[in-house]
Amino acid sequence: MSVAPTNYLVQDQALWDSQVARSPWGHFLQSWRWGLFKEEGGWQAERFSIAGDAKAQVLWRHTPLGQWGYIPRGPAADLAGPACAELWKAIHQAARARGATFLRVEPNAPDADPIIAQGFRAGVPCLQPQASLIIDLQPGMSAAGARMKPKTRYNIGLARRRGVVVRRGGSDDLPQFFALLRATAQRDRFYIRPFAYYRQFLEAFADHAVLLLAEHDGLLLGGIVVVAFGAEATYLYGASSNERRNLMAPYLLQWEGMAWAVARGCQRYDLWGIPPESISEQGEVEATDGPPIGEAGRGDMWGVYRFKRGFGGEAVRYAGAFDYVYAPLRYLLWRRFVPLAQRLLALRADAAREALD
């Protein structure tokens, strides 16, 4: 039984997704499908709506320190509007009834002031990318290609000329893609989920997501996963081989990901993550390529940034992450000990994976 006021809760999936998709602040992480997918991993999704003008999908999680809530890339609302203020009241009532410790929010908006004005604390870790590049897909692929850097356009054509082929993958291709993803993560030092996570994601989003694979003479060179929601497609996961890197397969993969998005009627393509330091105070992408690879622990993202920047796009920097605290003592314990426990679990998982190699 829900602990939230029933007049704020939504049970109609089609209506929810259509309204969130049309919202200027809508995002696939606020889609009904994402909530169902996260429920397979132990979360509980609860959806709040205020007169269709403000919506938030809250993901609740049980821990030894009490429940906590999470709103990724939400709410789908004008954070400074009266409907959003009413929305927070409903969510806070539900959170207190659950005995929640805190609520974490990462708005799909750049301005932090409205969320801080509602009593949220700033300076907490982001779980989603804090900055990205959004590519305009209108009026089509020719226009998108014209806005790319010449070297990027050249590399896309080079991959084609040298025989790289991109095809749509299926469930039978997932083990091979995951093996390549794991190798990429070890090479570039980033965290990945277990195999079941990616399988469940593609099953949950079905025809709303695509796995694209790049091959050359039968050899898998790379793969990406793209999801579409409303007018926006988002590049989520990518892997590339150490072999035949001169064939520039990742460039052709992104091009085909954009083509898939255009065919679905999407108007934007989110490249999903660049270093926040790459964006100036004026919101423009800095001309610098950033520090050398590996310097100051930032180099890995800068290598990805240099690749993504070639596709053009508008730089977007989000407000960040914010917590609303309901139980201060438990929250203090959470901030001190949970990150340590997560690091220990990650180290154990890394060691287990290395033992299997």
Domain ranges of the chain: 6-127+319-356, 131-317
CA atoms within 13 A on the CB side of 47: 23
In this prediction, residue 293 carries a pLDDT of 34
Q: Which amino acid is located at 176 in the chain? A: Q
Q: Sheet of 165-168: strands edge to edge? A: 165-168, 209-216, 219-229, 232-240, 268-270, 131-136, 314-317
Which pLDDT score, from 0 to 100, does residue 344 have? 61
The CATH homologous superfamily to which domain 6-127+319-356 belongs is: Gcn5-related N-acetyltransferase (GNAT) (3.40.630.30)
pLDDT of the residue at 291:
46
Length of the chain: 357
Indicate the pTM of the whole model.
Answer: 0.89
Beta carbons within 10 angstroms of residue 331's beta carbon: 19
Which pLDDT score is estimated for 195? 97
Residue 96 in tokens: 């207190």
State residue 240's pLDDT score: 95
Domains 6-127+319-356 and 131-317 share a fold: yes
The DSSP string of 131-154 is EEEEEE--S-HHHHHHTS-HHHHH
Top CATH class of 131-317 equals alpha beta
One-character DSSP codes across 164-202: -EEEE--GGGHHHHHHHHHHHHHHHT-----HHHHHHHH
Per-10-residue mean pLDDT for the chain, 357 residues long? 62 94 97 97 96 91 94 97 95 96 97 97 94 95 96 98 98 97 89 95 96 97 98 97 96 98 97 86 50 40 86 95 97 84 58 47
Q: State residue 297's pLDDT score.
A: 36
